[in-house]
Amino acid sequence: MHVNLIPCLTDNYAYIINDNVSKTVGVVDPSEALPVIAFLKKQNLKLNYILNTHHHYDHIGGNTELKKLYNAKVVGFVGDKHRIPGIDIMLEDNAKWTFGESSVKILHIPGHTLGHICFFFENEKIAFTGDTLFSLGCGRIFEGDHKQMLTSLNKIKKLPKNTKIYCGHEYTYKNAEFCMKY
């Protein structure tokens, strides 16, 4: 499994994931389509899936264009079925989903939004946490509450220690400044 970071907007990260065995290709949280399309063309890849951790526009902004261009399936949380454009595959908490040769466990991690999920690729020990967990911090609470966020962070904490975490934004510098200040 290859994970490629695709910078989008001013500080967003989308990730193109490529299962080398099955040739299955997905993009996680495409805030805009053009950087994703450019990478796919350069690498001569065809997009099969669009994975959304939550419904905020800076994570779904590229859905419609990418789905139309590649006939890709949009994957997200069942509770966000009316808020994620073009959703085809609706997953629940603790569901198992197959991406190519990989088993993906879905973790419902509300707090930032009520329908926020994490895609955990079990064998590869890779987790896409969207806006719940960042380097040196966690996401803001928009729809949930602090108790939900703490419960969600504890779910992520229970993943294997060698899990690679891929977050939705580059906030390291801002979070480090906050840590040093307080």
Active site residues: 54, 56, 58-59, 112, 131, 169
Task: Tell me which residue of 17, 79, 81, 27 sits closest to 49, measured CA to CA.
Answer: 27
| SS3 letters across 61-106 | CCHHHHHHHHCCEEEEEHHHCCCCCCEEEEECCCCEEEECCEEEEE
Q: Is 142 helix (H, G, I), strand (E, B) or coil?
A: coil
Q: Please tell me the distance from the alpha carbon of residue 150 to that of residue 85, in angstroms, as a whole number.
A: 28
Task: Tell me which residue of 114, 127, 115 sits closest to 155, measured CA to CA.
Answer: 127
For residues 121 and 103, the answer to whether their CB atoms sit within 8 Å is yes
